[in-house]
């Protein structure tokens, strides 16, 4: 039995996907018409498995990251197909399958992944898809069925897995260097017949780059297929203007951010990466573990003062409720009300001690201040520091650049949002709080590493190369 859950409205619909013999059209398909299930699997076993190697062995890999000002989403550019087409796609740490709107995609090297192939099985496919022609990327028969989850929509476009050539860049730690080609990058092509598959995503983008722990996500796939360590890292840029860009690293360090001379991989603070035993989104079966990234926040401090609240909500219970996860599609950290209220109160108190004046709150934030009364420092507005103390005692320190959100010329607000008292995950660390920090997800050894604000070291996540 599989379930489909839309976290936004908490709708939960059980559905046995293996009893859905409907033919899909090449379009946006409400999940209840999800896929066309072929009774028989392909009679042609995949021959592609033999060609599973890249032309050169790249390590580590880098992809450029940009910030979209209108949505506060972060996206990268994939150069896919023959000849290569540049496609922008939004990063999603909870994303399981990379997908792209392929309505205008043309490539001579595009190949559907067949249903009865090891690749399809490894991807955790739920169905075998067919399509009434004409045949083109996103519309083929005997195609490994996955779902293209758009977190902003209450529909899951039924979609088939495909492979195509992906251009890879490696780095010497500073500059983007040699390029190579990976022949079998798996992604899912959505033919957007109804316009709207990409609703909610940054305008210049055509889909999602999946970063979850799932076997089919981009870092898992590249690490597995290219024999790289199962490590990826994000350096999210704070600026959406200018020529600079941030970086997604796949395969581990070195991480060099000029003018810092030493490799940041050697100085990251590290804590355990946790697995939430209960998966709830977007499609799951009973007993399946979450493939999102959880860490253990043990205490929250404002400057040196711990705030007090019922600390049991910081642990993940047997139903998967509670705890702390990290999300790139959440613009500002969302907190359970039981944490949000005392945090805001303590922050206001400490801000007043610094002679910072309050201003009227601006939604969705709870505490706002007169910007003229806030001094500025190396790491943004000079305000009380919010400190997340993590298991093993390391401290993730959020300075003004990460804690404050500018809402107008005259007003800045504490950039944390009240998620109410029914929030499933008590702390969802959002992207604004990770900007200009290097954060590393070492899935192989289950550790999460972070640099704290690079601005304090006169560096940032906006490379100029
Ligand atoms: C699927 O492929 C395997 C070999 O890869 C073969 O043994 C099996 O019979 C195939 N199943 C079907 C239903 O075609
Ligand atoms: C898939 O198979 C069906 C039934 O044989 C056929 O009508 C359809 O045209 C095929 N689709 C493609 C894209 O070849
Ligand atoms: C989709 O959008 C394109 C361009 O905006 C438009 O030409 C086309 O008619 C739209 N299709 C549908 C089905 O709305
Ligand atoms: C910070 O770096 C820039 C160049 O990246 C340099 O011009 C400036 O002098 C540096 N400032 C400090 C305080 O080190």
**CA–CA gap between residue 151 and residue 159 (Å, rounded):** 15
Do the Cβ atoms of 36 and 144 come closer than 8 Å? no
Give 127-175 as a 3 state SS string. EEECCCCCCECCECCCEEEEECCCCCCCCCCEEEEEEEEEEEEEECCCC
Determine if ligand 1 sits within 6 Å of the CB of residue 41.
yes
Per residue in 335-385, pLDDT tens? 999 999 999 999 999 999 999 999 999 999 999 999 999 999 999 999 999
Q: Kindly report, as residue ranges, where domains of CATH 2.40.70.10 are found in the chain.
A: 3-48+59-228, 264-457
Q: Tell me, which fold does domain 264-457 have in CATH?
A: Cathepsin D, subunit A; domain 1 (2.40.70)
Instruction: Write the Ramachandran bin of 410: left for phi over 0, alpha for psi from -120 to 50, otherwise beta.
Output: alpha
Q: Quick one: CATH architecture of 3-48+59-228?
A: Beta Barrel (2.40)
Beta-bridged to residue 406, according to DSSP, are 412
The pTM of the full predicted model, rounded to 2 decimals, is 0.86
Instruction: Say whether 292 sits in a helix, a strand or coil.
Output: coil
Per residue in 68-100, pLDDT tens? 999 999 999 999 999 999 999 999 999 999 999
Residues 6+ apart with CB under 8 A from 34: 15, 17, 20, 24, 127, 147, 156, 158
Per residue in 128-184, pLDDT tens? 999 888 889 988 999 999 888 888 887 676 789 999 999 999 887 677 887 899 999
**CA–CA gap between residue 458 and residue 46 (Å, rounded):** 51
Candidate of 25, 42, 44, 133 to mutate for ligand 2, largest count of ligand atoms within 8 Å of Cβ: 133
pLDDT of 26 above 70: no
Does a cis peptide bond (omega within 30 degrees of 0) precede residue 449?
A: no
Residues 6+ apart with CB under 8 A from 172: none
CA of 462 to the centre of ligand 4 (A): 14
C-alpha to C-alpha distances, 422 to 149, 217, 268, 441, nearest whole angstrom = 24, 30, 34, 28
CA of 242 to the centre of ligand 4 (A): 18
CA of 245 to the centre of ligand 3 (A): 32
Rounded mean pLDDT of 45-67? Answer: 58
Ligand with the closest atom to the CA of 244:
4
């Amino acid at each position: 039995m599989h379930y489909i859950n839309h976290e936004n409205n908490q709708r939960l619909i059980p559905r046995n996907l293996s009893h859905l013999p409907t033919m899909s059209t090449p379009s946006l398909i409400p999940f209840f018409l999800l896929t066309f299930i072929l009774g028989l699997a392909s009679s042609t076993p995949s021959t592609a498995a033999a060609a599973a190697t890249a032309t050169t062995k790249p390590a580590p890999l880098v992809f450029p990251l940009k910030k979209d000002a209108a949505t506060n989403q972060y996206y990268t550019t994939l150069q896919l197909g023959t000849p290569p087409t540049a496609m922008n796609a939004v990063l999603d740490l909870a994303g399981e399958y990379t997908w792209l709107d392929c309505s205008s995609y043309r490539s001579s090297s595009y190949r559907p992944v067949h249903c009865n192939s090891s690749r399809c099985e490894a991807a955790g496919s739920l169905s075998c898809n067919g399509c009434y022609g004409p045949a083109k990327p996103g519309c083929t028969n005997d195609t490994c069925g996955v779902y293209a989850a758009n977190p902003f929509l209450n529909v899951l476009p039924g979609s088939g897995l495909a492979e195509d050539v992906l251009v890879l860049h490696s780095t010497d730690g500073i500059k983007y260097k040699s390029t190579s080609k990976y022949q079998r990058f798996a992604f899912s092509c959505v033919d957007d017949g109804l316009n709207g598959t990409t609703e909610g995503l940054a305008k210049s983008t055509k889909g999602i780059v999946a970063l979850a722990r799932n076997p089919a996500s981009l870092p898992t796939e590249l690490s597995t297929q290219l024999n790289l360590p199962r490590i990826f890292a994000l350096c999210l840029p704070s600026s959406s203007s200018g020529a600079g860009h941030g970086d997604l690293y796949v395969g581990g360090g070195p991480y060099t951010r000029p003018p810092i001379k030493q490799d940041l991989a050697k100085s990251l603070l590290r804590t355990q990466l946790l697995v939430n035993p209960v998966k709830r989104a977007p499609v799951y079966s009973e007993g399946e573990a979450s493939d999102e990234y959880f860490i253990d926040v043990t205490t929250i401090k404002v400057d040196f003062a711990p705030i007090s609240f019922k600390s049991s909500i910081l642990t993940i219970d047997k139903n998967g409720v509670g705890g702390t996860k990290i999300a790139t599609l959440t613009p500002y950290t969302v907190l359970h009300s039981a944490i949000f209220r005392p945090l805001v109160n303590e922050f206001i108190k400490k801000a007043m001690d610094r002679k910072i004046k309050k201003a009227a709150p601006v939604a969705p934030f709870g505490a706002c201040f007169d910007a003229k009364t806030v001094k500025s420092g190396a790491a943004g507005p000079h305000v009380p520091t919010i400190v997340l103390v993590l298991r093993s005692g390391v401290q993730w320190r959020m300075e003004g650049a990460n804690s404050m959100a500018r809402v107008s010329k005259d007003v800045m607000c504490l950039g944390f949002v009240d998620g109410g008292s029914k929030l499933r995950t008590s702390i969802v660390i959002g992207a604004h709080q990770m900007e200009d920090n290097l954060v590393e997800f070492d899935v192989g050894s289950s550790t999460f590493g972070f640099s704290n604000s690079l601005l304090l070291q006169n560096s940032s996540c906006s490379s100029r190369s």
